[in-house]
Amino acid sequence: MTMPQPRDGLRILVVDDEPAMVGAITALVGTAGHQVITAYDGDSALRRFEEEAPDLVLLDLAMPGRDGVDVCREIRKTSRTPVIVLTGEADELAKVEALDAGADDYITKPFGKQELMARIRAVMRRLEGGDAPTGGLHVGPLTLDTGRYEASVDGVVLALTRTEFALLASLAAARGRVVPHDRLLAAGWPSDPDPDPQWLKPHLARLRAKLEEAGAPLPTSVRGVGYRLEAPGG
């Protein structure tokens, strides 16, 4: 059975300092009908991103000079274009750092065509609204624009990572009810088949600090169950 592509003719920016890897990825996605734009370092990646406005970025994590995490952060300052990082790192912290920088997903080298294309389909489905609610959410002074992945308090936009926004959106959508740990993990790491429950606490702690500073409702732990969004002062 042939799996459907997210849509025809994606323009994909492939960034890797190894020409052989760029060539291999170009061959893989080219057979699926996608157009490839190439870059071999962080600076040229940002330049090509600005010039070519790709639909998707496949970004090597470990590069000399400006690395993939730095490039991802720069992209996220101006764009929500999906980014999948390519990593040979076995260290979970490297993957978490990339996700916190705004990456939508990661894929560990070596990988095959089927896995790569499945990751591309997944991030494009989420971009097109297939896996997330659309519109706005309002909780007191907090407003979430789920189409733009943007949260604001009394009109002031909060500097949230994509993971933090996803966790906050899940809590806000529950409208005061407790969101179980497994649902929060699925919201924050939708492409990971077995996210580590220990990831939740530090991400929610950073999210809570940003919300508290802005005077917004706060994520509060319900021991052994999950979290709910609670107004400041209880």
Task: Write down all domains in the chain, each with its CATH number in brackets.
Answer: 11-127 (3.40.50.2300), 136-230 (1.10.10.10)
Q: Strands 226-230 and 179-180, how do they pair?
A: antiparallel
Residues above pLDDT 70, as percent of the chain:
88
Hey, what amino acid is at 6?
A: P
User: In the predicted model, is pLDDT for residue 191 greater than 80?
Assistant: no
- Confidence band, pLDDT 50/70/90 cuts, at residue 5: very low
Query: What are the backbone angles phi and psi of residue 195, rounded to the nearest 5°?
Result: -65, 145
Return the bridge partners of 179, or none.
227
Crossing angle (nearest 10°) for helices 68-76 and 92-100 = 20
Using the structure block, give the residue that is written with the tokens 């609670």: 230
Q: Strands 156-157 and 179-180, how do they pair?
A: unpaired
Q: What is the pLDDT of residues 80-119, one digit of tens each?
A: 788 999 988 666 777 888 888 888 888 988 888 999 999 8
Across the range 143-152, mean pLDDT stands at: 82
**Is-above-0.75 flag for pTM?**
no
Return the bridge partners of 87, or none.
108
Q: What is the rounded distance in angstroms from the CA atom of residue 215 to the CA atom of residue 20?
A: 50
- Confidence band, pLDDT 50/70/90 cuts, at residue 150: confident
For residue 232, the model assigns a pLDDT of 59
Q: What is the DSSP letter of 199?
A: G
SS3 175: coil
Q: What is the pLDDT of residues 60-74, one digit of tens each?
A: 998 888 899 999 989
Q: What is the rounded distance in angstroms from the CA atom of residue 98 to the CA atom of residue 87?
A: 10
Q: What is the rounded distance in angstroms from the CA atom of residue 83 to the CA atom of residue 77?
A: 13
Q: What is the pLDDT of residues 112-135, one digit of tens each?
A: 899 999 989 888 877 654 444 445
User: In the predicted model, is pLDDT for residue 13 greater than 90?
Assistant: yes
For residue 213, the model assigns a pLDDT of 92
